[in-house]
Amino acid sequence: MNNHNTSILLFDGVCHFCDRSVQFLIRHDHKGIIKFAALQSNKGQELLREHQLSTTDLNSLVFIHGQHSFTKSTAVREICRQLGGKWKLLAIMLKLTPRPLRDTMYDLVAKNRYKWFGQKEQCMIPSKEVRNRFLQ
Protein backbone atom coordinates (compact mmCIF):
# COMPACT_ATOMS: atom_id res chain seq x y z
CA MET A 1 0.00 0.00 0.00
CA ASN A 2 2.83 2.40 0.76
CA ASN A 3 4.39 3.29 -2.57
CA HIS A 4 5.97 6.67 -3.30
CA ASN A 5 2.63 8.19 -4.38
CA THR A 6 0.50 7.01 -1.46
CA SER A 7 -0.81 9.67 0.92
CA ILE A 8 -2.55 8.56 4.13
CA LEU A 9 -3.87 10.67 6.98
CA LEU A 10 -4.15 8.95 10.37
CA PHE A 11 -6.51 10.91 12.60
CA ASP A 12 -8.18 10.61 16.00
CA GLY A 13 -11.40 8.83 15.09
CA VAL A 14 -13.38 9.99 18.13
CA CYS A 15 -12.45 13.70 17.97
CA HIS A 16 -15.07 16.05 16.51
CA PHE A 17 -12.40 18.53 15.37
CA CYS A 18 -10.48 15.74 13.63
CA ASP A 19 -13.67 14.47 11.99
CA ARG A 20 -14.45 17.96 10.68
CA SER A 21 -10.87 18.24 9.41
CA VAL A 22 -11.25 14.98 7.50
CA GLN A 23 -14.54 16.21 6.01
CA PHE A 24 -12.78 19.43 4.99
CA LEU A 25 -10.00 17.46 3.29
CA ILE A 26 -12.48 15.26 1.45
CA ARG A 27 -14.13 18.40 0.03
CA HIS A 28 -10.83 20.10 -0.90
CA ASP A 29 -8.79 17.13 -2.13
CA HIS A 30 -10.34 17.28 -5.58
CA LYS A 31 -8.02 14.59 -6.96
CA GLY A 32 -8.90 12.22 -4.13
CA ILE A 33 -5.26 11.40 -3.43
CA ILE A 34 -5.41 11.34 0.38
CA LYS A 35 -6.64 8.13 2.03
CA PHE A 36 -7.77 8.05 5.66
CA ALA A 37 -7.61 5.76 8.68
CA ALA A 38 -8.37 6.35 12.34
CA LEU A 39 -5.35 6.14 14.64
CA GLN A 40 -7.37 3.72 16.78
CA SER A 41 -8.19 1.36 13.90
CA ASN A 42 -6.29 -1.84 13.16
CA LYS A 43 -4.91 -0.29 9.96
CA GLY A 44 -3.95 2.91 11.80
CA GLN A 45 -2.13 0.94 14.49
CA GLU A 46 -0.38 -1.17 11.83
CA LEU A 47 0.82 1.95 9.99
CA LEU A 48 2.03 3.56 13.23
CA ARG A 49 4.11 0.46 14.00
CA GLU A 50 5.40 0.34 10.41
CA HIS A 51 6.64 3.94 10.75
CA GLN A 52 7.98 3.34 14.27
CA LEU A 53 5.56 5.80 15.88
CA SER A 54 3.78 5.47 19.22
CA THR A 55 0.61 3.38 19.11
CA THR A 56 -0.59 4.80 22.43
CA ASP A 57 0.05 8.55 22.12
CA LEU A 58 -2.85 9.60 19.91
CA ASN A 59 -2.38 13.37 20.32
CA SER A 60 -0.98 13.95 16.84
CA LEU A 61 -2.37 13.33 13.45
CA VAL A 62 0.06 11.47 11.24
CA PHE A 63 0.47 12.11 7.53
CA ILE A 64 2.20 9.41 5.55
CA HIS A 65 3.45 10.14 2.06
CA GLY A 66 5.27 7.26 0.45
CA GLN A 67 7.85 6.00 2.93
CA HIS A 68 7.90 9.23 4.98
CA SER A 69 5.72 10.03 7.99
CA PHE A 70 5.02 13.48 9.39
CA THR A 71 3.46 14.47 12.71
CA LYS A 72 2.01 17.58 14.33
CA SER A 73 2.41 20.86 12.42
CA THR A 74 4.72 19.26 9.86
CA ALA A 75 1.89 16.88 8.97
CA VAL A 76 -0.42 19.87 8.46
CA ARG A 77 2.22 21.52 6.26
CA GLU A 78 2.60 18.40 4.12
CA ILE A 79 -1.16 18.02 3.75
CA CYS A 80 -1.40 21.62 2.51
CA ARG A 81 1.44 20.95 0.09
CA GLN A 82 -0.38 17.88 -1.25
CA LEU A 83 -3.64 19.80 -1.70
CA GLY A 84 -1.85 22.25 -3.97
CA GLY A 85 -3.41 25.44 -5.27
CA LYS A 86 -3.88 28.16 -2.66
CA TRP A 87 -3.05 25.65 0.09
CA LYS A 88 0.57 25.57 -1.08
CA LEU A 89 0.87 29.17 0.14
CA LEU A 90 -0.10 28.04 3.65
CA ALA A 91 2.46 25.22 3.36
CA ILE A 92 5.15 27.78 2.53
CA MET A 93 4.10 30.00 5.44
CA LEU A 94 4.26 27.00 7.79
CA LYS A 95 7.69 26.04 6.47
CA LEU A 96 8.95 29.56 7.21
CA THR A 97 7.59 29.41 10.77
CA PRO A 98 10.02 27.77 13.23
CA ARG A 99 8.91 24.24 14.03
CA PRO A 100 9.00 24.71 17.85
CA LEU A 101 6.52 27.59 17.51
CA ARG A 102 4.30 25.65 15.07
CA ASP A 103 4.32 22.56 17.28
CA THR A 104 3.57 24.58 20.43
CA MET A 105 0.41 25.90 18.76
CA TYR A 106 -0.43 22.43 17.46
CA ASP A 107 0.03 20.92 20.95
CA LEU A 108 -2.26 23.56 22.48
CA VAL A 109 -5.10 22.59 20.13
CA ALA A 110 -4.37 18.85 20.45
CA LYS A 111 -4.38 19.00 24.25
CA ASN A 112 -7.71 20.84 24.35
CA ARG A 113 -9.49 19.34 21.33
CA TYR A 114 -11.98 17.25 23.34
CA LYS A 115 -12.76 20.13 25.72
CA TRP A 116 -13.19 22.68 22.91
CA PHE A 117 -14.79 20.53 20.19
CA GLY A 118 -16.13 17.42 21.93
CA GLN A 119 -15.63 13.71 21.58
CA LYS A 120 -17.65 11.03 19.80
CA GLU A 121 -18.54 7.55 20.99
CA GLN A 122 -17.10 5.93 17.88
CA CYS A 123 -15.30 6.67 14.63
CA MET A 124 -17.34 8.15 11.82
CA ILE A 125 -18.92 5.91 9.21
CA PRO A 126 -18.06 7.34 5.79
CA SER A 127 -20.68 7.75 3.09
CA LYS A 128 -20.72 5.40 0.10
CA GLU A 129 -19.22 8.15 -2.07
CA VAL A 130 -15.99 8.39 -0.04
CA ARG A 131 -15.82 4.93 1.60
CA ASN A 132 -13.07 3.80 -0.80
CA ARG A 133 -10.79 6.53 0.62
CA PHE A 134 -10.93 4.99 4.12
CA LEU A 135 -8.52 2.15 4.82
CA GLN A 136 -9.80 -0.92 6.64
How many whole angstroms separate alpha carbon 42 and alpha carbon 28? 26
* Domain membership flag for residue 52: yes
Range of the domain at 72: 7-121
**pLDDT tens figures, 82-134:** 998 899 999 999 999 999 999 999 999 989 888 888 876 655 566 666 777 87
Tens of pLDDT, residue by residue over 32-77, are 899 999 999 999 999 999 999 988 888 889 999 999 999 999 999 9
Give whole-number Cα distances, 25 to 8, 9, 31, 116, in Å: 12, 10, 11, 21
Is residue 26 domain-resident? yes
Can you give the pTM of this predicted structure? 0.85
Q: Is residue 2 in a domain?
A: no
Give the total number of structural domains in the chain.
Answer: 1
pLDDT of residue 8 exceeding 60, the answer is: yes
Q: Which pLDDT score is estimated for 129?
A: 67
- The Cα–Cα gap between 128 and 77 comes to 29
